């Protein structure tokens, strides 16, 4: 049963003999979780052997910390997850703007209230989420926003000293007392505010309009920053940088399977509009491969990075394009194809910051080439020793097939079923067009696009798939371009297998 007054709280818990800081509380709960072998950061993938040990060390050392990394590396998510190391709730003085501790108050107003009201002082409670305050640093942030401001007229009317707490309109930092205060993109914070943070961390006081204000706040300060801004451009004042105990570098997924797990975890895929949604493994591998390839492409600005939001948005858009087709054709299942990945290029181009060479070619062309490269790598992985000569021979003899992302599965299959050798390939994959028409069509398009990526078939918007009698001077990328990269995925599962079960898919 909750205590509602200071007297009841004393009878329930007694008066603590020592002060327990926020950093003490986090350390104690972290140790408990480590002893119980609990997962420390649920939903954070790929950081178990790199980022998370550094964060744990910082918290055990009671350090303020900064996460250094490019965009889309889960920095904000990690900082918000630190609230899991708080107690479920803590008591505070009801009505206090800075959530003062009833046993160890720092606010002059609350101290006088305790003297006046004694054990009848009302008590409120703070949950974990209420103890986290976040601010995005921008050049227009003021000291009043972060620390607070003084009201000289109010002080004059009441006959109080200007530095009295009653005259302060508290900012975000004091309001996060007994919690975590996070600042994203720290280098963008004006130097004057950085000095204010340094003073809070070092001396527990600040100056507002020239008046010293004593605020011994109990706070864990955490920051995020781009490594280049933080280290090379001189945007961080040296005393503040020196007082941040730990600098921890984040990174993009090292392994493509980790990237796929993140993308599937964060993507909105479970649609209710048209039956069952199924994503074949090669689709997610190709989409993730686009991000991996872009991070190595010299035409893409490495200083800006390629956010994990790129494959997330691309997968969602691919699913939506397939969903739109399924709704129009009244198909039973929504199954994305390679053409749906190309249709999602608008979700890719806005997330690529290009170098000069890339700007000359254009973001859409770069996106098409990245997808084509990823398809090629995927095709080689899924069919390392497969012989498609019979299919290629059919095109050599003058065969043409015109299909696209708008083509319904039934119509698509009617157009391609005449291709010699295709039925044998589907049988090897264990796919029956009668039973799994949409899946069969997705696999067929993967094969055709893979052969196009290997330059064994040609493709254009006007003719679809065909075979050039002579090599063109310049390859035409067409409506949706060529390929390169792969992996096999189990959407439900924890791990992903890289065997030869080529029909694996993700059912949503």
List the CATH number of the domain containing 172.
3.40.50.300
pLDDT of residue 15: 87
Residue, of 457 and 163, whose pLDDT is higher: 457
CA 505 – CA 276 distance, rounded (Å): 12
Residues 234 and 265 grouped into a single domain:
no
8 Å CB contact between 70 and 229: no
pLDDT of residue 504: 61
pLDDT of residue 184: 94
| pLDDT tops 60 at residue 499 | no
Domain assignment present for 132: yes
Contacts within 8 Å (CB) and 24+ apart, 234-241? 235/187, 235/188, 236/186, 236/187, 236/194, 237/191, 237/194, 237/195, 237/198, 239/195, 239/198, 239/202, 240/194, 240/195, 240/197, 240/198, 240/201
Lowest mean pLDDT among 62-71, 130-139, 231-240: 231-240
pLDDT of residue 286: 97
Mean per-residue pLDDT, 305-327: 95
Domain end residue (candidates: 192, 222, 249): 249
Residue, of 158 and 176, whose pLDDT is higher: 176
Q: How many residues does the chain have?
A: 508
Domain assignment present for 1: no
Mean per-residue pLDDT, 197-218: 73
Provide the total of helices (H) and of strands (E) in the chain, helices listed first: 22, 16
* CA distances from residue 372 to 302, 345, 404, 501 in whole angstroms, order as listed: 21, 12, 16, 23
Residue, of 109 and 437, whose pLDDT is higher: 437
Mean per-residue pLDDT, 377-405: 93
Over residues 76-87, the pLDDT tens digits come to 999 999 999 999
| pLDDT tops 90 at residue 242 | no
| pLDDT tops 60 at residue 481 | no
49, with CB counted inside 10 A (0-12, 13-18, 19+), is exposed
Domain assignment present for 293: yes
Domain end residue (candidates: 203, 220, 249): 249
Residues 407 and 466 grouped into a single domain:
yes
Mean pLDDT, the chain, whole residue set: 87
68 forms beta bridges with 225, 249
Domain containing residue 355: 256-507
* CA distances from residue 13 to 36, 52, 231, 258 in whole angstroms, order as listed: 26, 34, 47, 46
8 Å CB contact between 260 and 496: yes
| pLDDT tops 70 at residue 211 | no
Q: To 5 degrees, how large is the angle CA 422–CA 474–CA 444?
A: 15
278 forms beta bridges with 507
Residues 155 and 281 grouped into a single domain:
no
CA 180 – CA 438 distance, rounded (Å): 50
Buried b (16+ CB within 10 A) or exposed e, 259-298: bbbbbbebbebebeebbebbbbbbbbbbbbbbbbbbeebe
Domain assignment present for 229: yes
CA 449 – CA 455 distance, rounded (Å): 10
Residues 265 and 157 grouped into a single domain:
no
Residues 243 and 340 grouped into a single domain:
no
Domain assignment present for 231: yes
Residues 62 and 142 grouped into a single domain:
yes
Mean per-residue pLDDT, 450-467: 92
Mean per-residue pLDDT, 447-456: 95
Indicate the pLDDT class of residue 210, thresholds 50, 70 and 90.
low
Residues 129 and 147 grouped into a single domain:
yes
Which percentage of the chain shows pLDDT scores above 70? 86
Indicate the pLDDT class of residue 492, thresholds 50, 70 and 90.
very low
pLDDT of residue 501: 38
277 forms beta bridges with 334
| pLDDT tops 60 at residue 496 | no
Indicate the pLDDT class of residue 485, thresholds 50, 70 and 90.
very low
pLDDT of residue 482: 43
DSSP, collapsed to helix, strand or coil, labels residue 117 as helix
Residues 238 and 311 grouped into a single domain:
no
Residues 214 and 337 grouped into a single domain:
no
Residues 268 and 196 grouped into a single domain:
no
Mean per-residue pLDDT, 173-182: 93
| pLDDT tops 50 at residue 498 | no
Mean per-residue pLDDT, 93-116: 91
Query: Could you tell me how far CA 378 lies from the centroid of its own chain?
Result: 25
Domain end residue (candidates: 219, 249, 279): 249
Domain assignment present for 420: yes
Residues 232 and 380 grouped into a single domain:
no
Question: How many structural domains comprise the chain?
Answer: 2
Indicate the pLDDT class of residue 64, thresholds 50, 70 and 90.
very high
Cβ neighbours for 414, distance < 8 A, ≥ 6 positions apart: none
CA 8 – CA 121 distance, rounded (Å): 10
The structure's pTM equals 0.85
Residues 263 and 372 grouped into a single domain:
yes
Domain assignment present for 375: yes
8 Å CB contact between 408 and 319: no
């Amino acid at each position: 049963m909750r205590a509602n007054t200071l007297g009841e709280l004393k009878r329930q818990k007694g008066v603590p003999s020592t002060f327990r800081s926020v950093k003490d509380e986090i350390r104690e709960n972290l140790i408990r979780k480590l002893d119980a072998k609990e997962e420390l950061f649920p939903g954070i993938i790929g950081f178990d052997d790199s980022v998370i040990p550094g964060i744990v060390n910082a918290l055990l050392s009671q350090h303020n910390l900064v996460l250094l990394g490019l965009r889309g590396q889960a920095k904000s998510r990690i900082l918000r997850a630190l609230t899991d190391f708080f107690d479920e709730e803590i008591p505070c003085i009801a009505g206090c703007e800075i959530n003062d501790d009833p046993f160890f108050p720092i606010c002059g107003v609350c101290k006088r209230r305790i003297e006046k009201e004694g054990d009848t002082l009302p008590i409120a409670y703070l949950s974990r989420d209420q103890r986290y305050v976040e601010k995005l640093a921008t050049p227009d942030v003021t000291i009043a926003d972060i620390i607070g401001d003084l009201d000289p007229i109010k002080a004059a009317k009441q006959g109080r000293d200007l530095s009295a707490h009653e005259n302060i309109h508290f900012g975000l930092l004091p309001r996060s007392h007994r919690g975590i205060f996070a600042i994203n993109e720290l280098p963008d914070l004006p130097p004057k505010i950085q000095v204010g943070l340094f003073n809070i961390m070092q001396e527990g006081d600040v100056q507002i309009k020239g008046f010293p204000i004593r605020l011994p706040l109990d706070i864990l300060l955490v920051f995020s920053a781009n490594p280049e801004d933080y280290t090379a451009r001189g945007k961080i004042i040296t005393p503040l940088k020196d007082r941040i105990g730990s600098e921890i570098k984040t990174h993009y997924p090292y392994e493509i399977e980790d990237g796929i797990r993140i993308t599937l975890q964060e993507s909105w895929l479970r649609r209710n509009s048209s039956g069952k949604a199924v994503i074949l493994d090669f689709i997610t591998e190709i989409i993730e491969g686009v991000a991996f390839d872009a991070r190595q492409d010299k035409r893409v600005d490495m200083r800006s990075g390629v956010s994990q939001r790129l494959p997330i948005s691309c997968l969602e858009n691919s699913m939506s394009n397939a969903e739109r087709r399924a709704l129009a054709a009244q198909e039973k299942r929504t199954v994305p194809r390679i053409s749906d990945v190309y249709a999602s290029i608008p979700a890719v181009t806005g997330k690529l910051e290009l170098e000069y060479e890339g700007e000359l070619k254009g973001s859409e062309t770069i996106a098409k080439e990245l997808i084509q490269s990823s398809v090629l790598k995927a095709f080689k992985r899924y069919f390392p020793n497969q012989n498609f000569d019979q299919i290629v021979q059919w095109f050599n003899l003058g065969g043409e097939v015109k299909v696209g992302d708008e083509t319904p599965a039934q119509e698509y299959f009617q157009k391609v079923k005449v291709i010699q050798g295709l039925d044998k390939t589907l049988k090897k994959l264990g796919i029956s067009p009668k039973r799994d028409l949409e899946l069969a069509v997705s696999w067929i398009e993967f094969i055709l696009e893979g052969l196009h990526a290997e330059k064994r078939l040609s493709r254009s918007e006007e003719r679809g798939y065909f075979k050039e009698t002579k090599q063109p001077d310049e390859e035409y990328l067409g409506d949706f371009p060529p390929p390169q990269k792969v992996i096999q995925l189990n959407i439900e599962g924890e791990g992903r297998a890289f065997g030869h079960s080529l029909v694996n898919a993700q059912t949503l």
